[in-house]
C-alpha cells in the first residue's frame, strides 16, 4: 500500500507510522529521517538542505521533493510506503501525484489523525525531558514522575524544552493550519481521505487505522 499520514503536531504521527508500517510490511518514510540521512551521507541534496537550515531558512520544496523521490525509488519501497511529514503543502502533494503517475503508481489512502487543538497543546506542553538522558521522557498528566521534576530512571532534573512551550506549540499549530491543512481538502477531493480519531490508547488508534484501510 502507498499511504500518506497527516495530522497536527502532537497527533502521534510518528508513533502510529511505526506501528502501521510494521503491520503493513512497508517502509516508514519520515521527512526528519530523509533530512538526517541526506545530511549525514553528505549527498548533494543534503548539502543544499544544510545550507538553508544553517541560515535558519526553510528548506525549499524542490529539495524535500527530491529527497522523497530518491527514497521512494529504493528497492524496499517498490511495493509500498508510508509517508510521514511529506507532503507538507499542496505543491508537494501535486509533485507527489506527478511522481507516482510517471511511475505508473497511485496513492491508496491518506490517513488524517484527528485531535482537538487543546488536546494537542496538553500533550506537547505537558512533556518533560530528563537533562541527563533525553530518552527519559515524562508527562505531567499522562506519565507523571513519582516526584515532580525528578526523573524516575536516574534522578536527573526534568525540564520543558523551548519547543514544547504552549506559545511555541500554538505557533506550530498555526503553521500547520496555514500550510499543511489545505492538503486535507486536496486529498478529500480525490476520494483518498480517511479520518481517524487519534484519542485513546496507541493500540486502539492503530486498530482504527488498520480497520479503515481494510475497508
**2 labelled binding-site residue:** no
Torsions phi, psi of 89, nearest 5? -150, 175
Consult the annotation and say whether 109 binds a ligand.
no
Residue 165 per-residue DSSP state: S
Pick the catalytic residue: 13, 122, 123, 128? 13
36 is in an annotated binding site: yes
The answer to whether residue 13 is catalytic is yes
Is 104 within any annotated ligand binding site?
no
Catalytic pick from 48, 50, 172, 188?
172
Please report, for residues 25, 59, 77, 109, 195, the alpha-carbon distance to residue 212 in angstroms, rounded to integers and kept in the order given. 17, 34, 22, 10, 9
Q: Is 88 marked active-site?
A: yes
208 is in an annotated binding site: no
Encode 93-113: b = buried (16+ Cβ within 10 Å), e = exposed. Answer: bebbbeeeeeeeeebebbbbb
- On whether 127 is known to bind a ligand per the annotation, the reply is yes
Cα 13 to chain centroid distance, Å, stands at 5
**88 known member of a binding site:** yes
Is 179 part of any known ligand binding site?
no
Active site residue 172: yes
3-state secondary structure of 126: coil
Report the candidate in 48, 2, 200 with the shortest Cα–Cα distance to residue 113. 200
Say which of 2, 71, 127, 128 is annotated catalytic: 127
Going by their DSSP bridges, the two strands 2-6 and 81-84 should be labelled as parallel
Active-site residue flag, 208: no
Is 68 among the annotated ligand-binding positions?
no
Concerning whether 69 is annotated as a catalytic residue, the answer is no
Instruction: Determine which one of 71, 88, 128, 208 is catalytic.
Output: 88
**Active site residue ranges:** 13, 88, 127, 161, 172
Binding positions for AMP are: 31, 36, 57-59, 85-88, 92, 161, 172
Annotated binding site: 10-15, 31, 36, 57-59, 85-88, 92, 127, 137-138, 161, 172, 200
Which amino acids are annotated as binding site for ATP, given as ranges? 10-15, 127, 137-138, 200
Amino acid at each position: 500500500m502507498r499511504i500518506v499520514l497527516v495530522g497536527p503536531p502532537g497527533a502521534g504521527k510518528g508513533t502510529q507510522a511505526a506501528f502501521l508500517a510494521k503491520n503493513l510490511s512497508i517502509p516508514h518514510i519520515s521527512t526528519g529521517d530523509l533530512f538526517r540521512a541526506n545530511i549525514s551521507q553528505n549527498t548533494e541534496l543534503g548539502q543544499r538542505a544544510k545550507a538553508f537550515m544553517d541560515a535558519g531558512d526553510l528548506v525549499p520544496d524542490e529539495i524535500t521533493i527530491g529527497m522523497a523521490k530518491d527514497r521512494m525509488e529504493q528497492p524496499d519501497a517498490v511495493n509500498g510506503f508510508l509517508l510521514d511529514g511529506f507532503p507538507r503543502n499542496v505543491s508537494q502533494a501535486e509533485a507527489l501525484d506527478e511522481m507516482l503517475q510517471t511511475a505508473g503508481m497511485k496513492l491508496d489512502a491518506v490517513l488524517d489523525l484527528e485531535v482537538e487543538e487543546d488536546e494537542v497543546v496538553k500533550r506537547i506542553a505537558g512533556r518533560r525531558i530528563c537533562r541527563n538522558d533525553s530518552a527519559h521522557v515524562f508527562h505531567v498528566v499522562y506519565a507523571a514522575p513519582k516526584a515532580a521534576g525528578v526523573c524516575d530512571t536516574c534522578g536527573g532534573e526534568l525540564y520543558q524544552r523551548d519547543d514544547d512551550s504552549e506559545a511555541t506549540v500554538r505557533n506550530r499549530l498555526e503553521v500547520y493550519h496555514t500550510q499543511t491543512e489545505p492538503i486535507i481538502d486536496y486529498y478529500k477531493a480525490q476520494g483518498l481521505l480517511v479520518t481517524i480519531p487519534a484519542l485513546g490508547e496507541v493500540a486502539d488508534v492503530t486498530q482504527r487505522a488498520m480497520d479503515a484501510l481494510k475497508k
